[in-house]
Amino acid sequence: MSELKKKIFKQFSWQVLGRLLINILALVNLSLCVKYLGPQDYGYFTLGISFVQIFGIIADFGLYLITLDYLGRVGQSTDDHQGEQNAKKQFLLNNLFSLRFFAALIFYVITALAAFASGYPDVVKNTIYIFVVYFFSLTLVQFLSAICQKDFYAEKIVKADIASKVILFLLLLTIRRLDLGFYLLVVFYTISGLLNFAFLFFYVRRREMIKFSFDFSFWLKIIKKIWPLGLAAIFNIIYFKVDTLILAHYHSTAEVGLYGAVYRVFEACIAIPPLFLGLILPQLAASQMNNDYNRFQNIFQRSFEFLALIAIPIAFLCLAKGREIMEIIGGDKFIPAGRLLAIIGVAIGFLFVGELFKQVVVVIEKQKQALFLYFTIMVLSLGGYFLFIPPYAAEGAAWVTVFSEFLMLLLSIIFFWRYSRVKIKFLFLSKGLIAGLLMYLFLAYCHNLNFYLSLLIGGGLYCILIVMLKAISRKEVQELLRGFIK
């Protein structure tokens, strides 16, 4: 294996294993948080964090992706000497960091001002003010993560995130034991974000001397390049997050708390596809650049099958065991959220697969054309939220989320068909759904088994059925996995 392949494989291993541990820690911390706060106070927590998240995505405006793109170009030209390459890299780092820092600063100040002018109760406003600091630090963490990824040091990202979550876990245990109250819990979350930034910053500073730089012509060039991605991100975050704010306007904070706890599980699950796609997309991009249609077709089809066959059991698990999952995470007070997780589980399945189509749009360079797709989903979702949340509360929001993700998947497939020559095969889906349905029946009707044992048996049953039904062959899996390090 070449040195480059070894680096890529090592980075992949750290990302997958690290993300698994990070998600477990995140769910454990979520459980400690919701059990301590209860539905009412967790509703305030959810409302505050959702409000800031919306502005946070707008503040990013595609800068993370463009940072990866520009840093990836450094050193690609064989005409540049090492000194010239270093100078280019330093110029990019300084200006990209400065643009990201001040853009985020402006947007988060606007966030705080918007909260001050809102009609939210003081507890929500104060939560927003504290979380502004938390999300500002995470914005800078994203920039530092791009540097680490480019230089094949993904383990530093993982270690920093794990360390911050372990510290948060200890702080949450302290809060529960000493009953330190709501505000200190929010402050401790913010401290964990600041520590995550500090760990990465001091590592990167040992390798790169980043400082503020203001080449405004370069900034303008970046803004002109990223505006389609930024606008798409704004449309996406509006339909993805505004439901919480609308729910809070029409219903109780406790209802927001139940929905917010389910959404945190949702977000933990949908962190999986980007890990896989981060490895597959470069392979698709290379095939696209080399006009290798057959390789592009093969990688895309296998990726579609792989993601779908992971999404199916997750969706059926949420349908069958939503109540038990939310009871484990939140305790007796969050058992009613189980019905919401059963609904949201369907949306997880659609989003898993839809993420492939959305990201491949960048590979085939059709970002501008895809803006209408995102705008359409945003408008229809907003209409659905205002129509169904007032009478049906969180269940209405959950079903509109399912509709939005299904429509996004459907329109993305149609869009992809229109702008590419790939012929997608769907026959394997029937086999995957049969396996998933049989797994669901086992999980739903075997009430006497321990939850974790039933989960283990159900997962094993699904895997056996997938192999027996030949939904995807061992050879196809091996071909896909070999593509990770090619």
Q: What is the pLDDT of residues 432-485, one digit of tens each?
A: 899 999 999 999 888 778 888 999 999 899 988 888 887 766 665 555 555 444
Structure tokens at 445: 């009707």
Q: Which residue has the higher pLDDT, 376 or 233?
A: 376
Q: Which residue has the higher pLDDT, 97 or 85?
A: 97
* Percent of the chain topping pLDDT 90: 30
Residue 209 φ/ψ, nearest 5 degrees: -90, 80
> Where do the structural domains in the chain lie, given as residue ranges?
1-214, 238-486
Assess contact for 270 and 330: CB atoms under 8 A. no
Q: What is the pLDDT of residue 444?
A: 87
Average pLDDT, stretch 47-61? 79
Q: What is the pLDDT of residue 266?
A: 85
Assess contact for 222 and 66: CB atoms under 8 A. yes
Q: Which residue has the higher pLDDT, 475 or 388?
A: 388
User: 56: Cβ–Cβ under 8 A, 6 or more apart, which residues?
Assistant: 104, 107, 108, 111, 135, 138, 139
pLDDT bin (cut points 50, 70, 90) of residue 386 is very high
Q: What is the pLDDT of residue 5?
A: 47
> Beta-carbon neighbour count of residue 366 at 10 Å?
18
Assess contact for 55 and 138: CB atoms under 8 A. no
Q: What is the pLDDT of residue 389?
A: 94
Helix (H, G, I), strand (E, B) or coil at 421: coil
Question: Is the torsion defined by CA of 97, 48, 255, 119 positive or negative?
Answer: negative
Q: How far is CA 425 from CA 179, 262, 302, 471, in A?
A: 56, 33, 10, 12
Amino acid identity of residue 2, one-letter, is S
pLDDT above 80 for 118: yes
List helix spans (H) across 331-450. 338-363, 367-419, 427-445
Rounded CA-CA distance 410/426 in Å is: 13
Structure tokens at 475: 């050879």
Average pLDDT, stretch 130-150? 81
Rounded CA-CA distance 207/293 in Å is: 40
Least confident of 158-172, 376-390, 422-436, 466-480: 466-480
User: 427: Cβ–Cβ under 8 A, 6 or more apart, which residues?
Assistant: none
Q: How far is CA 288 from CA 265, 421, 434, 482, in A?
A: 35, 11, 34, 19
What is the DSSP track for 16-52?
Answer: HHHHHHHHHHHHHHHHHHHHHHHHHHHHHHHHHHHHH
Residue 398: closest CA among 338, 358, 352: 338
pLDDT above 90 for 239: no
Assess contact for 269 and 348: CB atoms under 8 A. yes
Assess contact for 130 and 187: CB atoms under 8 A. yes
Rounded CA-CA distance 327/322 in Å is: 9
User: 206: Cβ–Cβ under 8 A, 6 or more apart, which residues?
Assistant: none
pTM over 0.85: no
Rounded CA-CA distance 188/130 in Å is: 10
Rounded CA-CA distance 168/287 in Å is: 43
Q: What is the pLDDT of residue 27?
A: 87
User: 253: Cβ–Cβ under 8 A, 6 or more apart, which residues?
Assistant: 39, 40, 43, 44, 47
Q: What is the pLDDT of residue 151?
A: 57
Rounded CA-CA distance 258/79 in Å is: 58
Average pLDDT, stretch 184-197? 92
Q: Which residue has the higher pLDDT, 337 or 241?
A: 337
Average pLDDT, stretch 139-151? 73
Site of tokens 């907003």 = 382
* Percent of the chain topping pLDDT 70: 81
DSSP character at residue 2? -
Q: What is the pLDDT of residue 78?
A: 47
Average pLDDT, stretch 315-338? 91
Instruction: Give the HSE-up count for residue 221: Cα atoms under 13 Å, Cβ half-sphere.
Output: 10
Least confident of 271-285, 298-312, 380-394, 447-461: 271-285
pLDDT above 60 for 1: no
Q: Which residue has the higher pLDDT, 440 or 155?
A: 440
